[in-house]
Structure 1
Amino acid sequence: MTPPPARRRRRTDGDSAAPRLALPRRGSVRRSQMITTYGVGSLIAVDNESFIVSGIDDAYRSWSLDDAPIISEHRLARVLRVSHFRLPPASEDTSKDGVRVRRFPLWHSCPNCRALQHVRDFNPPAGKNVCTDCDDEPLVPSRFVVACEDGHLDDFPYWKWLHRKNREEGATGRCGGQLSMRFSGRSASLRAVIIACTCGVPEVSMEGAFRRSALTDLGVRCEGRRPWLKGAPAEFCSQAPRTLQRGSSAVWQPVLKSALSIPPWSDGVADKLAVHWERLRSLASREKIEIYLMGAFQGDDSVSIDAVMELLEAEQEEDPGQEGDSDAGAVVRYQALRRQEYERLCTGNASRDKGREEQFICEPPVSDPAVLDPFGVGRPMLVKRLREVRALKAFTRVADPETGSEGHEAPLSLIPTDWLPALEVRGEGVFVRLDESRLDDWADSVEVAARVEQMRTNHERMLRERATDPADVPSSPATPRMVLLHTLAHVLINAWSLDAGYPASALRERLYTDATMAGFLIYTATSDSAGSLGGVVAQGEPDRLAEALHSALRRAAWCSADPLCIEARSSGVGGVNRSACHACVMLPETSCEHNNILLDRALLVGTPEDPRLGFFADMVAG
């Protein structure tokens, strides 16, 4: 997706919205896209130009607090080892400064003279991207880039690709010729993209450039370049470089971490204390804390000593700092954060006696939940008000980010910062929990365990391949309980999308699965999506939820790709799925927090050979 061109408006002398720096404005995107689509390190195409989003090293000085306010979410900040978050600046006409970008890729071609070279060799005027030899003909950025699984990015090595059979062993110089690119027009394939050189070597096409070993076979190694970080030196890299399309989703995948605001952190008091935490932790007694509060919050009765003491005690109880910085330690810290949310979702937080500042309202339905007993579903909880903070922690290239591994993540800055870009979402949702005793009896089945074990083995192999330290690889979360709940959340979202009128991209899952948790939350994914005025909560009423479950399971029993889908022994990247495809249970990328992996609808409804494999087999048969 390409962002729209910059909007221009008439300015007057003394306009307060004028940029502080005389930097050209290239385009505009929504704030949420700066986290999910066009974050740090991603490529943005604007008209006939291409740019890479710069790192956040200088962003704290260039982003004004008016355009990029501070976001507080204490629990998530502690897990990610930062002090706070910042909302990316808006791209409105009134915004003063935006997000910095740099031109990339640097190799361009001229569609008129067909020259293929570095953009500076075209001698374009400042701020323009044209070929001066062709009456300012607009240049075309390279369609191809080179990336590796450690996040490095570079221009495609056109000269090495063309001269691969005419390079002397150990030679580092160039032939001195002029490269050119043309299109034969015979087809739309890579075979029609022809590269030539005036030195006289035979011309070649781009066919075969996307093979996994295409560049390594030519002796091309990753140069460890990080063009999104200003002044970043090249790193040593042992990863194999891969050719990618400039607009491919494999060029940039965000690593997002999120948390819900839950009591006692959800009443607004914690936000007011955001800049005081270090000082408050250093005070040893209640009396000293009370004196400090009297000086820091004169005339503000909303910050009481009792509320502050409660927050400090809660912080000590849920402190994730005891775990190390390893991949496995990060998973443990994040799982502890989820467990706190699960306990609060089960307990609830009634709206009575809550002020308007309360960000988490969770209540049971009024009607009798007995209609859900045949499904093995316990009493649902209606989350009438919630706030979620999503932070961009890092990003990956080539390989999709795995929820269980911190390996191969590219940083957002050259020097670690004490903050991260983030956005906050306010909405509503429904929390669904399965009967754990019935779930354990089903999971003890030998057939169920064997089916999931194959998925787990494949997933752990992927985690080992992508981990930073192969000796410290977190275990796969794939268990019968997890795969069942994950797949059930997917089919329920699809049912609401088809029966209740919600687009699937407007809803999002949040899974709570381990030995002590067995539930999931379905909630509005963005603040401007459909279903943010009570429509989602209404779907959690027991009668409506029972109808949705019955409809979802009936659809899951059949797929247009059957019998191939239901009989598949493995599917998806790395074989981490079983009976799951885009025709039955997969969701839009924005809705699934596990990148559409670890799914198997056979665990819901069974297979033709073994119907009892499904947890809901009795409901489907009925």
Structure 2
Amino acid sequence: MEKIRHDLRLSETITPFGVGAIVDVQGESLIAPDTSWWDKKYAPEISCERLLARLGAGVLRQPPTHAGRSGKDTAALLYWRFPAWRFCERCSKLSKLTGKRKGKWSNTCECGGFLVPMRYIAVCEQGSHAQDIPWFMWAHRGREATLDESVRFCRAYKELRFERLSGRGEGLASLQVKCYGCGHTRSLSELVKKDALHRDGISCVGRQPWEPEDSAKKPCNHHLVAVQRGATGNYIAERISALDIPEERPQSAEIADKIRGHVYFGKLVADNGGPQAEMLAGWIAEELGVTSEIVLNVAIEDEVAADEVLLDLKDGEWAAFLKKLDDGRDRSGGDFVVDGWNLNATSGPESLVSRIAGVGQVHRVREVRALRGFRRHSAESDLITADLGPDRRRFPTYPAVEMFGEGIFLRFDEDKLAQWEAHPSVRARAGILMKRRTSVPWAERLDVPEPRYIALHTLSHLLIRRLAFASGYASASLQERIYANSDRKDKTAGIFIYTAAGDAQGTLGGLVRLGQPEKLIPLLVSALDDADVCSNDPVCIESDSQGSSQLNLSACHGCSLVSETSCETGNRLLDRQLVLGGGSVVGFLDKVLTEVRQVTVTG
């Protein structure tokens, strides 16, 4: 077969053309094998210690790249043909055979017609395996086939045809596979019935299409289902990303160090909750400017010698952003440059400005994205890792790309946010998604939908939609990162909206310039005004069950949804009511538009 050369953007090698993905390229249907098939000489290693700490042992490697004419001499990513079964668009012959043209293998039939990949493949319901449908076997199965001896013992392997019948519409009933050796025909409508392949005795081979036949370590007992090869559920990528930032210690850890270093701390621990504990804790707290409860908690942790839990990736990023905001103008250089702003002298609605504790103009940031693996058929299926080679357990290779970009960071006031989420109506509203998250098994991989997360996540979407008009970037090129967790020692409350490119050393500055407070506040007001009325209201604003698995409340394509590649949860856990209010629900920013409109009328 002649080699096909096709250029991809570097970021596309992670998703949607990453390991395990089925893609159409120049009329061919191809699938990307795992990283054990890569030529490591041409796949440079990427450094990101924070990301590897989350993934565990292994190495991050960037797929081979080239530019211009040099691409002919450099290694390329390997893709396998899948499905192997094809039919001729001229004579309709169905087979795995490949023709020849001038002595070379080509994707043509013996009659000269072009070979077209079959539309359907077989996918395992639970094991995330994929394989060809054995069309010759399938065509000679079924109720009628068992009664005809000529069909049961047919060996006319080259006489199979894939035909379309006229006068039967455009559905599967108009498509059939016919064997011209025995004359037996079978409609594709029988292929998609429940457990159809299982009844025909077609079982899962327990491996991926590019793996050798002897690679399946144990048989797969799950049933196969016939699906269209381009169906979205055939490839559910699981990727993870991290910002390459200087790892900062959280404020709680620094405070704990100061408490442990106090001259009275040893006596506090020795007292072990005795009569002097409260008095000693009060003295330490007064000198360090903290509460007695914090001092006592540190003493209890030391008493049981609790090991510090490995911080989540976002915890380290949050601490780094806070340090940058406190430092003001950033003249450090490097791959993480942030100018910090406070809003003390910024004009705007008091109900909005008072809730924002700081803004960061992120002039430069490096993000590393890696592919952990993929699933097929459903989000509950088994995860197939990106490396299926012999070293996959000891030292796997993860496909990764580094992205350079810019963005806007917003930190919200913790006290006002905590006061708002203490409202019973707010907690009851968020409790709807909390309950649904526990009832959907795969939803456990999503963030906890506490009130602050839902509100800030929805606000992020509203701002992304507005920034698409003002920044010069399409909304699909903007990404979000939500920091909203009240269950940590250092509670987080912020959003980071950024754009990054893997095939350029940065971006054009159209986003970061809008991070100046005098420009950002009007943009936030406009974003809230856009979402105040949805084209699907009153249905949307009154709804509490929208989106995938009903994991959205008042949020739809008319008001809050963005490209799924931009959202870190795939357009889930959204609700306009928790931002703007509605019914008996108090919105986090429900007074902003009222204040703006009153000023406008007065003016």
Q: What TM-score results when the alignment is normalised by the length of structure 2?
A: 0.77
Q: 1:167: Cα distance to partner?
A: 5.6
1:386 corresponds to:
365
CA distance in 1, matches of 2:587, 2:466: 18
Alignment CA distance shift 1:529-1:503 (3 Å): farther
Is 1:362–2:338 an aligned residue pair?
A: yes
Q: Which amino acid aligns with 1:348?
A: K
Q: 1:407: Cα distance to partner?
A: 5.2
Q: How does 1:522-561 map to 2 (within 5 A)?
A: 522-527=497-502, 532-561=507-536
Contact 1:481 1:514 in 2 (8 A): yes
CA distance in 2, matches of 1:578, 1:479: 13
CA distance in 2, matches of 1:620, 1:530: 39
Is 1:261–2:244 an aligned residue pair?
A: yes
Q: 1:43: Cα distance to partner?
A: 1.8
Contact 1:429 1:536 in 2 (8 A): yes
Alignment CA distance shift 1:412-1:554 (3 Å): same
Q: 1:481: Cα distance to partner?
A: 1.5
Q: 1:237: Cα distance to partner?
A: 3.0
Alignment CA distance shift 1:529-1:454 (3 Å): farther
2:559 to 577, 580, 584: 584
1:43 to 22, 47, 53: 22
Q: Which amino acid aligns with 2:215?
A: P
Q: 1:547: Cα distance to partner?
A: 1.0
For the residue of structure 1 that corresponds to 2:484, the secondary structure is: strand
Q: How does 1:420-459 map to 2 (within 5 A)?
A: 420-459=398-437
1:308 corresponds to:
none
Alignment CA distance shift 1:530-1:562 (3 Å): farther
Q: 1:231: Cα distance to partner?
A: 5.6
Alignment CA distance shift 1:126-1:439 (3 Å): same
Contact 2:60 2:370 in 1 (8 A): yes
Alignment CA distance shift 1:379-1:355 (3 Å): closer
CA distance in 1, matches of 2:494, 2:196: 45
Alignment CA distance shift 1:548-1:475 (3 Å): closer
Q: How does 1:343-358 map to 2 (within 5 A)?
A: 343-348=319-324, 356=333, 358=334
1:398 corresponds to:
377
Alignment CA distance shift 1:354-1:529 (3 Å): closer
CA distance in 1, matches of 2:219, 2:44: 37
Q: Which amino acid aligns with 1:39?
A: G
CA distance in 1, matches of 2:400, 2:136: 40
Contact 1:258 1:391 in 2 (8 A): yes
Is 1:145–2:116 an aligned residue pair?
A: no
2:162 to 181, 186, 193: 181
2:452 corresponds to:
481
Structure 2: any 5+ residue segments left out of the alignment? 249-306, 596-603
CA distance in 2, matches of 1:499, 1:174: 69
Is 1:86–2:68 an aligned residue pair?
A: no
Q: 1:530: Cα distance to partner?
A: 13
CA distance in 1, matches of 2:430, 2:587: 13
Contact 1:260 1:389 in 2 (8 A): yes
2:132 to 155, 162, 173: 155
2:573 to 567, 592, 598: 598
Contact 1:381 1:540 in 2 (8 A): yes
Q: How many residues align?
A: 514
1:575 to 550, 554, 559: 550
Alignment CA distance shift 1:253-1:372 (3 Å): farther
Alignment CA distance shift 1:24-1:569 (3 Å): same
For the residue of structure 2 that corresponds to 1:432, the secondary structure is: strand
For the residue of structure 2 that corresponds to 1:379, the secondary structure is: strand
Contact 1:54 1:230 in 2 (8 A): no
Q: How does 1:192-341 map to 2 (within 5 A)?
A: 192-198=174-180, 203-207=185-189, 209-210=191-192, 215-216=197-198, 220-230=202-212, 233-234=215-216, 235-263=218-246, 336-341=312-317
CA distance in 2, matches of 1:475, 1:44: 27
Q: 1:140: Cα distance to partner?
A: 0.9
1:414 corresponds to:
389
What do residues 155-174 of structure 1 show as CA deviations (whole Å, max 9, x unaligned)?
135456543323659x9976
Contact 2:452 2:493 in 1 (8 A): yes
1:616 to 576, 589, 599: 589
For the residue of structure 2 that corresponds to 1:207, the secondary structure is: helix
CA distance in 1, matches of 2:547, 2:588: 23
Alignment CA distance shift 1:214-1:561 (3 Å): farther
Q: Which amino acid aligns with 1:618?
A: K
2:257 corresponds to:
none
Alignment CA distance shift 1:152-1:63 (3 Å): same
2:283 corresponds to:
none
What do residues 298-346 of structure 1 show as CA deviations (whole Å, max 9, x unaligned)?
xxxxxxxxxxxxxxxxxxxxxxxx99xxxxxxxx86x611101001111
Q: Which amino acid aligns with 1:381?
A: G
2:479 corresponds to:
508
1:190 corresponds to:
172
2:143 to 157, 165, 176: 165
Contact 1:361 1:383 in 2 (8 A): yes
CA distance in 1, matches of 2:367, 2:59: 14
Question: Percent of aligned pairs with the same residue?
Answer: 31
1:103 corresponds to:
81
What do residues 391-421 of structure 1 show as CA deviations (whole Å, max 9, x unaligned)?
11111222359xxxx9534443233044322
Q: Which amino acid aligns with 1:184?
A: L
Q: What TM-score results when the alignment is normalised by the length of structure 1?
A: 0.74
Contact 2:161 2:179 in 1 (8 A): yes
Is 1:56–2:38 an aligned residue pair?
A: no
For the residue of structure 1 that corresponds to 2:571, the secondary structure is: coil
Alignment CA distance shift 1:457-1:202 (3 Å): farther
Alignment CA distance shift 1:47-1:567 (3 Å): same
For the residue of structure 2 that corresponds to 1:566, the secondary structure is: coil
Alignment CA distance shift 1:201-1:378 (3 Å): farther
Q: Which amino acid aligns with 1:244?
A: V
Alignment CA distance shift 1:574-1:52 (3 Å): same
CA distance in 1, matches of 2:467, 2:228: 35
CA distance in 1, matches of 2:192, 2:3: 35
Q: After alignment, is 220-229 or 365-374 more displaced?
A: 365-374
Q: How does 1:105-144 map to 2 (within 5 A)?
A: 105-119=83-97, 127-132=105-110, 134=111, 136-144=112-120
1:342 corresponds to:
318
Alignment CA distance shift 1:253-1:190 (3 Å): same
Q: 1:83: Cα distance to partner?
A: 4.5
1:29 corresponds to:
8
Rg larger in structure:
2
Contact 1:369 1:378 in 2 (8 A): no
What do residues 501-526 of structure 1 show as CA deviations (whole Å, max 9, x unaligned)?
33101210011121111111001132
Contact 2:123 2:376 in 1 (8 A): yes
CA distance in 1, matches of 2:191, 2:536: 32
CA distance in 2, matches of 1:118, 1:127: 13
For the residue of structure 1 that corresponds to 2:178, the secondary structure is: strand
Alignment CA distance shift 1:461-1:233 (3 Å): farther
Q: After alignment, is 91-100 or 238-247 more displaced?
A: 238-247
CA distance in 2, matches of 1:602, 1:351: 34
Contact 2:446 2:569 in 1 (8 A): no
Alignment CA distance shift 1:459-1:237 (3 Å): farther
